[in-house]
Amino acid sequence: MAPLLSVRAGEQVASGLFVSTNPLDAPLWVDGRNVIFRDGGVEKAPGFVSLLTVADAGTLRGMDAMTDTALIQRLFLGDAGKLYQWTAGTLSTVGTGYAGEVDEGGAAPASCWSFAGYGDWMLAANGKDPVQVWKKTVGTFAALDVDGQFAAAEVLVRRGPHLLAFGTAGGAAGAAGMYHWCSADDPENWDPDATDSAGFQPIAELQGPIVAAVPLGDMIAVLGRNQLFLVRYTGAPFYFPYQPALTGVGAVGKRAVVEANRRLYGMSRAGFWTADGTQYQYIDTPALRDYLLPRLNTAQLSKVVCWYDQANQLVLWSVPTVGAEPDVTVGYHVASGVWTIFDWARSAAVPQVGVYRQPYTAGAGGEVYTHNSGVDAGAGVGMAAYVQSKPLDCGDAGVWKAVTEVRARLRRLAGTVNLRIGTQRNSDDPVTWLPAKVLDDGNESLWLRASGRYLTLRIEGSAVGADWALTGFDLLGASAGERR
């Protein structure tokens, strides 16, 4: 039989998911879950395993990690009312009695913890309670002495010997558009006077509150709802002045933005964007925006959580759609600019790898996960991964095709993985699927009989231990019948 269509490893196979476009306009793939695109192909995404369970926790919102001066790795995480620490397999409750908001309501966001390490100290802020400090010599969190300058802060960022608090409230100088910094080498000195380097600064041009603050190279990017400012250390007498940078991008929550390779990746109410501090670009159209934005629960967007998976070059956002909590995760490949979708979601994540070599995240029921481990969704739980092509006209939509053989080119295959072929007379008709064919090697011929003006290919596997990586395929048969 003659080839009807041959697809080889390259940009088309690795083009990502296009779930917002007309299917015929997509490069190749119009649906999929739990897959990643790289090295000229598409493959099942790496799995994850449970690291620990915080049994008495509510929804975990906020986590980060530090390595102390004794080179001990410590994971900190918190819910609306408590803070926890996990070290060397031991989980401890290290802070209680907080008054965080479980859900977003009106103008008040859901309370999320922001952490910043400082030597053998870990600082934490939730926007509601006094900034907390954990000292290794004490072992529990307590209110940080800020000299009465503010009563709470939304975001903490360390820059050299200074700790900065953004989006402060109450006290002598707290305000939603204000940021403060401590004196050099002294996180318990926030009183600005002539003998130290502490200070504070309102952002006069900011329309609304400070929503997020994220390191960007040697600067700090400060975001409102639709604005971006840059804060840079300049030394005395101003120390941390700001400059307006961009209008048109912002953040839906304090954890909706992350830095990767000296660029920012974030989510605003208008969509997903990237910026370098001088210019920005929305990156979710045409592939994703029209599909995802109408499905979002816009009343709970402050719960969006974002992190960077360096090993897979993916920025990931978990977002709420049908419920009050994040329930879908989307991923953007920073090198190739393609999108993918996952059917799981997280409520908290360590923003960057560094202390730990793999991403750490938290989900429902107080579960904490280690990612890029195995191929399953936890011990003994298969991860359903599939990818589906657009309706393929094999070069001529007006001619009926009879396909008798499919050759899948796989560079990796384990467990039970199926290939399915579907047919359509018109591109908007429901797909009629043939029975699934089980793949059992990396470059085999599967024999079948199907006919239609359009053909659809789908690779899928959900069994425990199933794994695959596709680099191309061939459809063989004959063109037959009159043009219609």
Q: Give residue 1's pLDDT.
A: 64
CA gap 63, 334 in Å, rounded: 23
CA angle 236, 188, 192 (to 5 degrees): 35
Residue of 325, 231, 241, 337 lying closest to 284 (CA atoms): 337
Q: Name all domains of the chain by residue range, CATH numbers in brackets.
A: 2-46+384-480 (2.60.120), 48-371 (2.130.10.10)
pTM score > 0.75 for this model?
yes
Residues for the chain: how many in total?
484
In this prediction, residues 353-364 reach a mean pLDDT of 95
* CB of 392 closer than 8 Å to CB of 5: yes
Rounded Cα–Cα distance for residues 27 and 8 (Å): 13
Q: What share of the chain has pLDDT > 90, as a percent?
A: 94
Give 297: exposed, middle or buried? Use CB within 10 Å, 0-12, 13-18, 19+.
Answer: middle
The answer to whether the CB of 294 falls within 8 A of the CB of 287 is: no
Please say whether the beta carbons of 277 and 219 come within 8 A.
yes
Section 259-272 average pLDDT: 97
Beta 417-424 vs 454-461: how paired, if at all? antiparallel
Q: Round to whole Å and give the CA distance between 443 and 446.
A: 10
The residue among 278, 249, 279 whose CA lies nearest residue 266 is 249
pLDDT at 361 exceeding the cut of 70: yes
**429-471 pLDDT per residue, tens:** 999 999 999 998 777 789 999 999 999 999 999 999 999 999 9
pLDDT in tens, 269-310: 999 999 999 999 999 999 999 999 999 999 999 999 999 999
Is residue 18 a contact partner of residue 29, using CB atoms and an 8 Å limit? Answer: yes
First to last CA, the chain: 23
Q: What is the amino acid identity at position 168?
A: T
At 42, list the tokens.
């598409």
Q: What is the largest CA-CA distance in the chain?
A: 89
Strands (E) in 198-256, as ranges, are 199-202, 212-216, 219-223, 227-232, 242-247
- In tens, the pLDDT along 397-415 reads 989 999 999 999 999 999 9
Distances (CA, A) of 474 to 26, 127, 187, 422, 454: 19, 56, 63, 15, 15
Give CA–CA dist 171/188, Å, rounded: 15
CA-CA distance, 340 to 347, in Å (whole number)? 19
Give residue 88's pLDDT: 86
Label residue 321 left, alpha or beta by phi (over 0 means left) and psi (-120 to 50 means alpha): alpha
Closest Cα to residue 113, out of 71, 156, 149? 156
What pLDDT is attached to residue 441?
79
Residue carrying structure tokens 């558009």: 177
pLDDT above 70 for 219:
yes
Buried b (16+ CB within 10 A) or exposed e, 206-227: beebbbbbbbbeebbbbbbbbb
Tell me the two tokens of residue 231: 């804060």
Residue 290 carries which DSSP code?
A: H
